[in-house]
Amino acid sequence: ELKVEQNPLFLSMQEGKNYTIYCNYSTTSDRLYWYRQDPGKSLESLFVLLSNGAVKQEGRLMASLDTKARLSTLHITAAVHDLSATYFCAVIYYQLTFGKGTKLSVIP
């Protein structure tokens, strides 16, 4: 059974600071997704990471994948309030399995 673990589960950070969210998974996979969910809303796809060493960036968010370590990171640079949301990583192994999510609150 594939297990996907995110940490931290809750993150409160000040505007302007940097931080990293970690996603570990238990079974070999070379495809990892990051989604964002705003309160009361649906899930929005942020990144698809397709191979070892893949790095993708969009604005203040940068995601990377290390398939050997079974680890993905989502790095936040100079956080702003608009980034407050819950971030999920998800891994393909027969089907898409989601982590529990990291609830990010960016405080002015």
The binding site for another protein (CB under 8 A) comprises 31, 33, 35, 41-45, 48, 88, 92, 94-101
Rank residues 56 and 80 by Cβ distance to another protein and give the closer one: 56
50-70 exposure pattern, b = at least 16 Cβ within 10 A, e = fewer: eeeebeeeeeebbbbbebeeb
Smallest separation, CB 88 to another protein (Å) = 7
Smallest separation, CB 16 to another protein (Å) = 30
Smallest separation, CB 18 to another protein (Å) = 27
How far is it, in rounded angstroms, from Cα 28 to Cα 57?
24
Rank residues 14 and 45 by Cβ distance to another protein and give the closer one: 45
How far is it, in rounded angstroms, from Cα 18 to Cα 4?
23
